Structure 1
């Protein structure tokens, strides 16, 4: 699972909220698809800028993630690197674009999971909300491990 941080969690929350409020969504557009919408929040680039960067190389998000090279100098690779630095992995980004991570899907009720489509806004929102819940739980668990026992009482009281 991703390495959750406040920055990553907030990017997920904002992406979900924007999608719920009818932010541009188009699965075939590199800046307005599943990864593109999250990339907007993590990189502060516009959908047009992301799409422009993506068009400098060939392929969709999955292809560009396979070909990712942090030292290539391509803007798309630099953007992917920023997403990795925010706590995501290449595999997680591939799964996000296809809504296919088994760890996330297992937490979606079966009847919804069986009908999920990678290019349907409401399914992207469901997937990201589910993933966010998992990340928040992991983040809280990580915090609790690193908080001295006597401090927990003050923080969680």
Structure 2
């Protein structure tokens, strides 16, 4: 699962908000598709810039993720590197484009999880909202464990055991 961070969660929330507020969505457009909309928020690029970078290589997001090389110098690979640095994995990005990550789908009610359409804005929003909630729970969980561990350090029976 993606490495949860405040920045990544905020990028998800901005993407969701923009999509709900009628941001341009077009599954066949590299800068306005599932990955493209999230990439706009993480890489701070416009849909046109993302599309322009993508056209320097061949294939859709999945193809370019398969061929991703962080040292190629291609702008698309540099942008993908930003997504990875933000905490996402290549496999998660492949799944995002198809709305197919089993970990995320397992949190979507049955039978809707099997009815998601990769090119339907409402389904992309549901998928991103579900993923954001998973990340938020993971993020909060890290702090709860840390607080719990800090509290145990101050218990004399634990300290002197």
TM-score relative to the length of structure 2: 0.91
Correspondence for 2:103: 103
**Cα offset, 1:112, TM superposition:** 1.3
**Cα offset, 1:23, TM superposition:** 0.1
Cα distance between partner residues in 2 of 1:2 and 1:28: 25
Correspondence for 1:54: 54
Structure 2, unmatched stretches of 5+, are: 153-161
**Cα offset, 1:144, TM superposition:** 1.9
**3-state SS of the aligned residue for 2:76?**
helix
Residue of 142, 146, 151 corresponding to 1:149: 151
Q: CA RMSD in A?
A: 1.2
Q: How does 1:1-157 map to 2 (within 5 A)?
A: 1-147=1-147, 148-149=150-151
**3-state SS of the aligned residue for 2:111?**
helix
Structure 1, unmatched stretches of 5+, are: 151-157
- Larger CA deviation: 1-10 vs 140-149: 140-149
Cα distance between partner residues in 1 of 2:125 and 2:146: 31
Task: Count the aligned residue pairs.
Answer: 151
Larger radius of gyration: 2
1:87-140 Cα shifts (integer Å, max 9, x gaps) = 000000000000000000011111211211000000000000001110101111
Cα distance between partner residues in 2 of 1:111 and 1:100: 14
TM-score relative to the length of structure 1: 0.93
Cα distance between partner residues in 2 of 1:149 and 1:24: 48
